[in-house]
Amino acid sequence: MGGIGKTALAVEAAYRARGEFPGGTLFVDLRGYDDDPVTADQAVVALLDALGVRGQDLPPTAERQYDVYRGLLASRRERMLLILDNASDPSQYVPLLPGTDNHRVLITSRDRPNALPVRLIDLETLDPEESVALVTRALHDTDERDERPEQEPSALRELADLCGHLPLALQIAAGMLRMRRHRDIASLVTEIRKAGDPTVVLDKGSPGTDLYGRSLVLRPVLETSYRRLPSDQARLLRLLCLAPGTDSGVETVAALAGLELEPAVCLLEELEATHLVSPVRRADELRWRVHDLVRAFGVSVVKGDARLREEGEAARERVLRSYLRWARAADDRLRWLPGLPEPERFADRAGALAWLDSERAGLVAAVQWAREEPYADATVRLSQCLAEYLDWRRSFDDKITVCGAARDAAHRAGDRIGEAIAWNSLGIALLETGRAGEAIDALTRARDLHQAAGNRHREAIAWANLGNVLRVTGRAEEGIDAHTRARDLFQATGDRHREATTWGNLGNVLWETGQAEEAIDALTRARDLHRAAGDRHGEAGVWNNLGSALWEAGRTEEAVEAFEKALESLREFDDWYGTGRTLYNLALAHEDAARPAEARTTYLQSAAAYTRANAPAEAALAQSLADSLT
């Protein structure tokens, strides 16, 4: 892409390889992306001049000029290097190729010439460490006493991120820092963040020209690339800049553009050839992203035109409809039990989870569109479809973000049920992140809103979750009361499945308060109800808790049997956190039964499962206990 450092790399390569080219190096700037690019006919005159053919010796016609040019190159035994810089079309450089194997040619371009048999070297942005090194070196080359890079490493890394690790942007930023020698790096970071579009700040503060006499400005570089695009490619680029998330699958791109998949893929491939979009391989899926600075440029183009704003809003609505449809189907699959209708598209949990995993960043970003009025209702519903998945993946920070946005949007719209649902889901996430006090407040708000609306079923859900928080915070008696209220409401509304879950939660509180036999009775009831509902995963969770209660009651061998039954289903569901927890409990039981070898093996298995579940603290504890048994 423009600003990636093609010219600088070509010149540096030529300099380092000068010993390989005793005949010298010729350089021509073809200005391919200017309004008036250099033609091959104009360039050949400049090349002949560099080779000593000028004035009266210059042939009068282009055809004869090319003949003389190629003849001179063919007659030179000493190898030469020809740099044809900044070409936008093969017609600019194909006539200038030497026609002999003796010499070498370097061509730089923002476009990939797929039709020509040339060796292609695609340049990517710098990695973060290289970006930091570039700015640091640029500052130290001017003043070796400049200590800002060493004193502000975090601010320097953030500045590099804001520049998108694009060499041109980094050079401009370094120039600005040289001019601001008495100000810290953080001040420039703050200015860029406040502006929202890095190109605005960087172009305003650009120090002038580079080593090649070119203007150090970003936006014109992006504008020339954008203006050259055919209308369908330009439209897709604009819309892709509005996409949620840092990269998008083809399905999302097609929804943005209102296209079928095949035409969308073709346009993406054409844009890739211009280096304005790039493919990203994630697992087995090819996704597409635009550079951060291109994204900022595209967003500004849309904002500056009323017609394009309408086009962008329509694209966002299409994406939300697509996301909502498939997120609902995936959520239905995750919650599916025998007897329920089969969800569309996703034949199994693995397929639903794979789609949600690949689209998670975009889904979370799309929910945050709830702050904008046209999208509030759809994003509130989308957040409800993500709650179960984010719990499953233990992505509680994302869940807090999603539920907070949904809560605020529902409140503004006067949607009290939607607000209550968001408060309820938010409470669960707050509990999991150790913010129990806030969780109690959130769940109490949810309960009260559902009570006021007369929704007894959702009131029961809030009571059940509130009971879990009260148990964790040591308010066991209040927890028992909350679970009892939830159980009675679920019974009254005929929700046997959630009644089963509540019996299980009630059993957990009873166990923790030393009422082992009562806990065993409640957990047995929960197990049987989950089994009747066909919920094997729920049944597995209860088997684990029942095992703990049996172990607490001194019935160790029955506990071991219960843990093993839990593991049968947990592994089937790829529930690695639940698997780690059950293996940990089983190891405790083996230790209690004086079976240290079995206990150690099981602790190690628990650590591995917790690691897969991204639970490092739990994994470390299990590993430590295994090590203590060596």
How far apart (Å, rounded) are the C-alpha atoms in residues 384 and 417? Answer: 12
Same domain, 89 and 163: no
Please tell me whether residue 114 adopts helix, strand or coil conformation: coil
Tell me 433's DSSP state: T
Identify whether residues 44 and 85 lie together within a single domain. Answer: yes
| CATH classification at residue 25 | 3.40.50.300
The last residue of one of the domains, among 182, 201, 219, is 219
Residue 363: inside a domain:
no
Span 201-228, pLDDT tens digits? 988 877 666 655 566 788 888 888 899 8
Position 242 in a domain: no
Longest distance between any two alpha carbons in the chain, whole Å: 110
Establish if 199 belongs to a structural domain: yes
- Say whether both 141 and 83 belong to one domain: no
Domain boundary among 170, 189, 219: 219
Residues 160-193 as b or e (16 or more Cβ within 10 Å = b) = bebbbbbbbbbbbbbbbbeeeeeeebeebbebbe
Q: Which of 170, 172, 149, 148 minimizes the C-alpha distance to 161?
A: 170
Residues 105 and 34 in one domain: yes
Q: Is the pTM of this model over 0.85?
A: no
Last residue of a domain, one of 54, 75, 109: 109
Per the listing, tokens 């200005």 go with 31
Q: How do residues 93-148 score in pLDDT, each as one tens digit?
A: 999 999 888 999 999 999 988 778 889 999 999 999 999 999 999 999 989 999 99
Whether residues 41 and 90 share a domain: the answer is yes
In a domain, 208, yes or no: yes
Do 32 and 105 sit in the same domain of this protein? yes
Domain membership of residue 190 (yes or no) is yes
Query: Same structural domain for residues 85 and 149?
Result: no
Quick one: 77 and 139 in the same domain?
no
In a domain, 16, yes or no: yes
Residue type, 166: L
What's residue 215's pLDDT? 63
Residue 212 lies in a domain: yes
Over residues 346-385, the pLDDT tens digits come to 999 999 999 999 999 999 999 999 888 888 899 899 999 9
CA nearest to 432, candidates 461, 403, 396: 396
Q: Is the same domain home to 160 and 81?
A: no
Beta bridge partners of 105: 82
pLDDT tens digits, 477-524: 999 999 999 999 999 999 999 999 999 999 989 988 888 889 999 999
Domain that holds residue 49: 6-109
- Quote the number of domains for the chain: 2
Q: Determine, yes or no, domain membership for 89.
A: yes
78 shares its domain with 155: no
99: left (phi over 0), alpha (psi -120 to 50) or beta: left
